[in-house]
């Protein structure tokens, strides 16, 4: 098959799979739930073979391009980042497959129904994608918000929830980088915890949902890929501050161990 034929084939598979798993009537309810929780689990959004191929692709990129991060980040109240990452630029430059799925019209059209507004390409090239691997006891993606509104997270591999690695969320909160007040938000609001199995996928309203992964309580492997999109409000945002820890080995707002 030519590259064009392969891409058309993926697109067709994605659309057929969405038609099979989601009725038009179910979409307003899913949108409501997403609005309420800032989170919705939707593993059926992708056919199994594309989820399997995504895992193989992430393993290939981790093998070639992963970098370890161990730091605390001032702009999120010194919460930890302890994991290996593949940066957005490495992913964009080295995976035709991931670029194609990210731009799938069928996927975007469906996500816009869940999100209730247009999904725009991520305004920063360094935040379009992220692959992380939690691997050691204590590994965690500590409490934070995203710079941009929507993150589709594919849980490609996860250990049993007894080991940690679940996602915790506090929806309807927002990020002031100079005074993040995370512990106050945690004291004032209910925290929801979501466990996963390998192959899960969720959509997160990342800019207004405070979230973290529960630290691993032993060495184990948890791998995810994050695809991020912006929204129409992005033009009003001010994203100053050198805290782009995923893109650079050392940033001004980070404390390193």
Ligand X SMILES: O=C(O)CCC(=O)C(=O)O
* In the block, residue with structure tokens 């070639």: 64
User: Segment 158-177, which members bind Fe ion (CB under 5 A)?
Assistant: none
The rounded Cα 24 to chain-centroid distance in angstroms is: 25
CB of 64 to Fe ion, least distance (A): 24
In the complex, which residues of this chain contact ligand X (CB under 6 A)? 130, 132, 141, 146, 151, 153, 167, 211, 213, 224, 226
What are residue 229's DSSP bridge partners? Answer: 121, 150
| Nearest residue (CB) to ligand X, 10 versus 145 | 145
CB of 211 to Fe ion, least distance (A): 6
User: Segment 138-157, which members bind Fe ion (CB under 5 A)?
Assistant: 146
| Nearest residue (CB) to Fe ion, 10 versus 148 | 148
C-alpha to C-alpha distance for 189 and 173, rounded to whole angstroms: 9
| Nearest residue (CB) to ligand X, 73 versus 153 | 153
Binding partner selected for residue 216 from Fe ion, ligand X, none, CB under the kind-specific 5 to 8 Å limit: none
Binding partner selected for residue 156 from Fe ion, ligand X, none, CB under the kind-specific 5 to 8 Å limit: none
Among candidates 220, 247, 199, which has minimal Cα distance to 56? 199
| Nearest residue (CB) to Fe ion, 50 versus 169 | 169
C-alpha to C-alpha distance for 196 and 156, rounded to whole angstroms: 10
Cα 165 to Cα 182, 194, 201, 229, distances in angstroms: 20, 9, 14, 24
| Nearest residue (CB) to ligand X, 88 versus 104 | 88
213 CB burial (10 A radius; 0-12, 13-18, 19+) = buried
CB of 185 to Fe ion, least distance (A): 15
Interface ranges with Fe ion (CB under 5 A): 146
């Amino acid at each position: 098959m030519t590259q064009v034929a392969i891409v058309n084939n993926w697109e067709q598979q994605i659309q057929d799979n969405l038609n099979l798993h989601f009725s038009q009537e179910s979409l307003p309810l899913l949108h409501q739930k997403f609005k309420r929780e800032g989170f919705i689990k939707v593993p059926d959004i992708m056919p199994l073979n594309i989820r399997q191929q995504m895992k193989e692709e992430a393993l290939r990129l981790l093998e070639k391009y992963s970098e370890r991060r161990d730091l605390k980040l001032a702009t999120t109240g010194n919460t930890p980042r302890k994991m290996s990452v593949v940066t957005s630029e490495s992913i964009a430059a080295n995976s035709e497959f991931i670029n194609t799925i990210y731009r799938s019209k069928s996927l975007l059209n469906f996500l816009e129904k869940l999100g209730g507004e247009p999904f725009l390409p991520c305004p920063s090239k360094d935040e379009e994608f992220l692959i992380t691997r939690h691997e050691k006891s204590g590994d965690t993606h500590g409490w934070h918000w995203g710079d941009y509104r929507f993150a589709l997270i594919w849980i490609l591999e996860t250990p049993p929830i007894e080991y940690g690695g679940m996602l915790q969320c506090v929806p309807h909160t927002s990020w002031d980088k100079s005074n993040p007040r995370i512990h106050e938000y945690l004291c004032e609001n209910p925290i929801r915890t979501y466990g996963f199995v390998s192959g899960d996928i969720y959509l997160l309203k990342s800019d207004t949902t405070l979230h973290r992964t529960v630290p691993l309580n032993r060495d184990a492997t948890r791998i995810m890929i994050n695809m991020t999109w912006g929204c129409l409000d992005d033009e009003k945002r001010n994203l100053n501050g050198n805290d782009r820890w995923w893109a650079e080995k050392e940033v001004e707002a980070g404390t390193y161990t």
